[in-house]
């Protein structure tokens, strides 16, 4: 073996696919699928399709969550962590999938460096008695090709990189593709060491935790690392080093206690090895475990998959208790806008905009206008002459005109009532959703709050007739009333004539029709009849006008209501539905990420 010397057979560059492919193929054995002709060697352990699918799904989860983060929404730190995971996983999958990164992690004095040197077969990492000893990571590669970028990514200092060459004779061929990293301890007072360790533990494909009989139950390793890594058992191996200090019996006792501890922490399947870097016991097993992992080429994807599992699990509360469990709940059946919402909202909006009142005002305006035509002018004259018009009394000038002008226009809407309606709809849908969503749905319902009054005003304006038009038959009636009025005037004149001529004989030789006083009562009756006729016409026509105005009012009101419903649909329910479909997308993305 030689240090830092790359044998020519291993110097295949990533681009030189042919040889790398053969070599990779040879190593991976027949079981590895997907070893195609093109760069297959380097992608021998290519991620299964579903892993990248899951990562994409997680990215979508993050993207949806990021738009809704905050104290009441998605937790920022969680999103950041998930983003880091996606980025890290992407990097790792891109970088030399044919290599497996195994880290030796453990407390100070557990013998990581000794083990590392034993595995590497040379004293790469200095071993010492004073604590803490190793202060930055060391790495050894079996098979350099393509490992350079990986080393960069891992952040191993150049002086601490070593390569193991051929040494096939020593049975190390099976280790080809292994990157073994000796970490600084995580529990010493040396500042910074723990940060470096945390980073590399996060990047590793396989974690080998080196414990020793003195420290195997330390809180620093169990609480900080092993417990949070529950679910990662497939990519964790635990090594009880320094077994030379124990008798066989003691070692057994120790291992069973350690196994019990790991079990309570959820690491049921983690492999436990007993080694001694000093005596060399158990090293072959460790080498075998490493070799298996390297040959399988699954550690990288297993690690990512385990990380994904844990991460996706943490998003489950955001999908809601029932939906996150991954049971067969379909994603179509939940969180819909209740069917009658548009109608209910439309009602509330009608109220806010005063649709009924506008209709009423329209009817009044119609009737008022009609009075000008079909009304009986005599009644009006009587009113006026009797002094029932306060405006006149107060000499308010054009008030009357103003009052007449304001009837029946678009009236806008009450913001407060709109707000209350929006609150109500938000609270109708919200409670069925988990925390951030019930809030975002509410926000969505309110998102176009400011546009609603204008839209409602426009809806009313559209529904209202252009102008207070005059029906043709009103003019006919007006003419008729005019005629009747003329008749009254004529009748009055006749009476006058009769009085002057017939009673006081002021003029002689008048026609009998003007002079026959006996006609007086008849003419009087005639005038009374005409007056009655005018009044009857007026009230008859007014009731027709009223009936027509009422019909128009209900037509306009119905129109307004349907427009209000459109407004509700457009400005309230659409955003809500969009938000709900985002929620559905979130759930299905999470579902895919959890596969």
Q: How far apart are CA 100 and CA 298, in angstroms?
A: 8
Q: Is 393 in the site for another protein (CB under 8 A)?
A: yes
User: Which of 268, 388, 505, 555 forms a contact with another protein (CB under 8 A)?
Assistant: 388
Q: Rule CB under 8 A: which of 41-70 touch another protein?
A: 70
- Nearest residue to 491 (alpha-carbon basis) of 465, 529, 453, 441: 529
CB of 491 to another protein, least distance (A): 29
Given the rule CB under 8 A, which of 49-57, 86-94, 187-195, 534-542 is the region that contacts another protein?
187-195
Alpha-carbon distance of 112 to 266, in angstroms, equals 24
For residue 580, the minimal CB distance to another protein (Å) is: 14
Q: Does 220 bind another protein (CB under 8 A)?
A: yes
- For the chain, give the number of residues: 595
Check if the beta carbon of residue 165 is closer than 8 Å to that of residue 5.
yes
Among 28, 175, 203, 246, binds another protein (CB under 8 A): 246
Helix (H) or strand (E) holding 238: strand 236-240
> Could you say which of 248, 394, 511, 512 contacts another protein (CB under 8 A)?
394
Applying CB under 8 A, does 423 fall inside the site for another protein?
Answer: yes
Q: Which of 248, 416, 511, 518 binds another protein (CB under 8 A)?
A: 416
Binder among 176, 232, 297, 351 for another protein (CB under 8 A): 351
C-alpha 23/C-alpha 5 separation (Å) is: 19
Find the shortest distance in angstroms from Cβ 387 to another protein. Answer: 10
Nearer to another protein, 387 or 472 (CB): 387
Regarding 352 and contact with another protein (CB under 8 A), the answer is yes
Report the alpha-carbon distance of residue 227 to residue 356 in Å, rounded.
Answer: 66
Residue placing its CB nearer to another protein in the complex, 166 or 233: 233
Structure tokens at 105: 């992690």
Residue span binding another protein (CB under 8 A) among the ranges 157-165, 166-174, 182-190, 337-345: 182-190
| E strand or H helix at 88 | helix 76-94
Give the whole-angstrom CA distance, residue 294 versus residue 287: 10
Contact with another protein (CB under 8 A) among 30, 49, 189, 248:
189
Write down the least CB distance from residue 391 to another protein, Å.
Answer: 6
DSSP 8-state secondary structure symbol assigned to residue 183:
P
* Binding residues for another protein restricted to 97-136, rule: CB under 8 A: 107-110, 129-132
Q: Which stretch binds another protein (CB under 8 A): 9-17, 196-204, 273-281, 350-358?
A: 350-358
Closest to another protein by CB, 74 or 209: 74
User: Residue 132, preceding bond cis, omega within 30 degrees?
Assistant: yes
**Residues 39 and 53: beta-carbon distance below 8 Å:** no
Q: Per rule CB under 8 A, is residue 364 in the interface with another protein?
A: yes
The residue with tokens 């079909």 is 374
For residue 102, the cross-strand partners are 180, 206
Q: Are the CB atoms for 535 and 379 separated by under 8 Å? A: yes
Looking up tokens 């790398």 gives 20
By CB under 8 A, how many residues form the interface with another protein?
103
Radius of gyration of the chain, Cα coordinates, nearest whole angstrom: 47
The residue from 288, 314, 384, 505 that contacts another protein (CB under 8 A) is 314
Q: Between 393 and 508, name the residue whose CB sits nearer to another protein.
A: 393
Contact residue for another protein among 229, 240, 353, 590 (CB under 8 A): 353
402 touching another protein, by CB under 8 A: yes
Among 391, 503, 525, 547, binds another protein (CB under 8 A): 391
Site for another protein contains 313 (CB under 8 A): yes
Q: How far is CA 85 from the centre of its chain?
A: 21
Q: Are 154 and 202 in contact (CB under 8 A)?
A: no
Closer residue to another protein in complex, CB, 174/379? 379
Task: Specify the pairing of strand 236-240 against strand 161-164.
Answer: unpaired
What strands, in cross-sheet order, belong to the sheet with 161-164? 161-164, 138-142, 178-182, 100-106, 206-211, 236-240, 271-274
Binding of another protein by 432 (CB under 8 A): yes
Stretch in the footprint of another protein (CB under 8 A) among 46-54, 423-431, 518-526, 575-583: 423-431
Q: Which is nearer to another protein, 30 or 71 (CB)?
A: 71
């Amino acid at each position: 073996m030689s240090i830092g010397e790359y044998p020519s057979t291993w110097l295949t560059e990533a681009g030189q696919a042919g040889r790398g492919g053969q070599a990779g193929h040879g190593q991976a054995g027949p079981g590895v699928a997907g070893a195609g002709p093109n760069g297959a060697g380097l992608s021998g352990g290519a991620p299964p399709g579903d892993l990248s699918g899951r990562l994409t799904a997680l990215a979508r989860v993050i993207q949806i969550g990021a738009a809704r983060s905050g104290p009441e929404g998605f937790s920022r730190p969680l999103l950041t962590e998930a983003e880091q995971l996606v980025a890290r996983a992407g990097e790792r999958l891109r970088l030399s999938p044919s290599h497996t990164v195994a880290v030796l992690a453990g407390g100070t004095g557990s013998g990581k460096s000794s083990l590392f040197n034993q595995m590497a077969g040379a004293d790469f990492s200095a071993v010492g008695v004073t604590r803490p000893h190793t202060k930055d990571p060391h790495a050894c590669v079996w098979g350099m090709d393509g490992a350079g970028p990986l080393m960069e990514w891992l952040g191993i200092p150049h002086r601490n990189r070593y390569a193991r060459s051929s040494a096939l004779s020593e049975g190390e061929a099976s280790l080809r593709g292994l990157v073994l990293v000796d970490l600084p301890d995580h529990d010493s007072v040396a500042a910074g060491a723990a940060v470096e360790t945390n980073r590399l533990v996060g990047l590793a494909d396989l974690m080998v935790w080196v414990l020793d009989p003195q420290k195997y139950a330390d809180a620093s390793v169990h609480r900080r690392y092993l417990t949070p890594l529950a679910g990662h058992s497939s990519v964790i191996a635990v090594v009880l080093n320094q077994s030379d200090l124990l008798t066989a019996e003691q070692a057994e006792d120790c291992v069973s206690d350690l196994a019990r501890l790991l079990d309570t922490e959820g690491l049921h399947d983690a492999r436990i090895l007993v080694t001694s870097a000093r005596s060399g016991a158990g090293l072959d097993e460790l080498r075998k475990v490493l070799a298996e992992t390297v040959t399988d080429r699954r550690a990288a994807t297993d690690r990512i998959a385990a990380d994904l599992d844990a991460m996706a699990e943490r998003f489950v509360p955001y999908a809601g208790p029932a939906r996150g469990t991954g049971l067969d709940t379909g994603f179509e059946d939940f969180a819909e806008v209740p069917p009658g919402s548009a109608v209910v909202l439309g009602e509330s909006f009608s109220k806010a905009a005063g649709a009924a009142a506008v209709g009423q005002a329209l009817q009044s305006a119609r009737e008022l206008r009609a009075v000008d035509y079909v009304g009986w002018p005599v009644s009006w004259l009587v009113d006026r002459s009797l002094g029932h018009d306060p405006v006149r009394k107060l000499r308010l000038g054009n008030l009357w005109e103003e009052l007449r002008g304001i009837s029946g226009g678009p009236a806008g809407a009450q913001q407060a009532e709109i707000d209350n309606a929006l609150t109500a709809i938000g609270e109708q849908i919200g409670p069925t959703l988990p925390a951030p969503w019930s809030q975002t749905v509410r926000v969505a319902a309110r998102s176009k709050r400011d546009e609603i009054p204008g839209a409602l005003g426009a809806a009313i304006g559209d529904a209202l007739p252009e102008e207070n038009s005059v029906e043709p038959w009103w003019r006919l009636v007006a003419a008729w009333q005019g005629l009747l009025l003329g008749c009254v005037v004529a009748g009055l004149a006749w009476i006058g004539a009769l009085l002057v001529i017939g009673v006081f004989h002021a003029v002689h030789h008048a026609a009998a029709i003007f002079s026959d006083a006996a006609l007086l009562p008849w003419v009087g009756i005639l005038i009374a009849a005409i007056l009655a006729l005018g009044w009857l016409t007026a009230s008859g026509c007014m009731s027709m006008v009223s009936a027509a105005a009422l019909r128009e009012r209900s037509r306009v009101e119905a129109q307004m209501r349907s427009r209000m419903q459109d407004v509700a649909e457009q400005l309230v329910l659409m955003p809500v539905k969009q938000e709900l479909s985002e929620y559905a997308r979130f759930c299905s993305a999470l579902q895919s990420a959890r596969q």
